[in-house]
Structure 1
Amino acid sequence: MKARSTILRIVGAALGTGALTWVAMGGVTGGTGPENLATQSIADEGPGYAVEDFSYPNADKILAEQKIKLKSGNGRILLAECTGAPELMEVFSHQNEKVCFRVTGDKGYLSLEIPAVFGVKGNNYAAQVEMSAGTEQKTFNVDRNAWTAVGETADGQGRDFMLLEIRTSK
């Protein structure tokens, strides 16, 4: 008799649990059960992904005010106010006089356009500048903490060179 009583308790508990689940799910007459939930795509409603295009911040404003076209980079070479501080890299051009950059991190990259560049003063980073005169492109290594002749001053023909890229490393 004791075994029969235990079996009846187990079956009763199982039936009770099933009944509660059925009621909670809304039964067969509708309600909030999974078969009655409306499905909708949340991809159209959620926020979009942030895609970094590495464009230089405020580039249009800088171009309008300073005639320096800053395109893109990795954020490690930044336009800075020329204060004469030794940690700044200085670029000299006939159009802009002096343009300064602050370099941070282990490796820096900046794509830009500064016309008629003729000299660069390096800082404590190893640096290279990529320049062009017409269709010819040329890379110049910039001396650390010293002036380096680039562009027209390093060209036997004295042509104007456009600064296109700056790359730095520790």
Structure 2
Amino acid sequence: MKARKAMMRTGGAAAAAGILAWAAMASGVGGGTTSEATSMKAIADESPGYAIEDFSYPNADKILAERRITLKRGDGNILLADCGSATDLLEVWDRKNGKTCFSVSGPSGYLALEIPAVYFVMGNSYNTRVEMSAGTEEKTFEVKKNVWTPVGESADAQGRDFMLMEIRTAK
């Protein structure tokens, strides 16, 4: 019982000393000035900036200039790849660039982009859906796994050019 009372006294004394030290710093006593205390308070009151992920594609301007492909945003699971650099790539064929390849990872993927005049997609091991547009008309095509799937002009009775707008994948 005596030991417990001694611990309570020591703890109480330590808490009181801490409160006094804080009060002295806040009021500028003990060597600090009021302007120092004010500037410490001002810095402490400022909130940190926020990091906001907008999911925009890295180096999109450079890719547009070099390859004429507009990569807008995605979740990072569908990435532009060098054709032949890996197996299981998704291949997109268009009239301007020829073949463009994408690597796919993760359980699902999303990429918003613009590739004009797309006419075939070679599927990979993922379930893939592409969203395309011709003028104001939008169409969705299910890409078959590991085979060529006609899309855009090759699947359109009028043979119109279609722009690839989105790629979505799932395992």
Same fold (TM > 0.5): yes
The answer to whether the Cα contact below 8 Å between 1:68 and 1:112 also exists between their aligned partners in 2 is yes
Identity of aligned residues (%): 57
Give yes or no for the alignment of 1:130 onto 2:131. yes
**Which runs of 4 or more aligned residues in structure 1 lie more than 2 Å from their structure 2 counterparts after TM superposition?**
20-27, 36-39, 41-44
Give yes or no for the alignment of 1:51 onto 2:52. yes
Equivalences for 1:15-54 in 2 at 5 Å?
21=17, 24=21, 25-26=23-24, 31-32=29-30, 37-38=37-38, 39-42=41-44, 44=46, 47-54=48-55
When the two chains are superposed, the root-mean-square deviation of aligned CA atoms in Å is 2.8
Aligned length: 151
Unmatched 5+ stretches in structure 1: 1-12
**Pair member with larger Rg:** 1
Cα distance, 1:85 vs. partner? 4.3
Unmatched 5+ stretches in structure 2: 1-8
Equivalences for 1:79-158 in 2 at 5 Å?
79-83=80-84, 85-158=86-159
Q: Deviations over 1:21-64 (max 9, x none)?
A: 4975549x95059xx642214464x6522110000000000000
- The aligned amino acid for 1:92 is W
Work out the CA distance in 1 between the residues paired with 2:138 and 2:112: 14
- The aligned amino acid for 1:69 is T
Change in CA separation of 1:142 and 1:43 when aligned onto 2, cut-off 3 Å? farther
Change in CA separation of 1:87 and 1:157 when aligned onto 2, cut-off 3 Å? same
TM-score by length of 2: 0.78
Give yes or no for the alignment of 1:67 onto 2:59. no
Instruction: Find the residue that maps to 1:55 and give its secondary structure.
Output: coil
Work out the CA distance in 2 between the residues paired with 1:90 and 1:43: 53
Instruction: Find the residue that maps to 1:40 and give its secondary structure.
Output: helix
- The aligned amino acid for 1:31 is V
Work out the CA distance in 2 between the residues paired with 1:43 and 1:80: 46
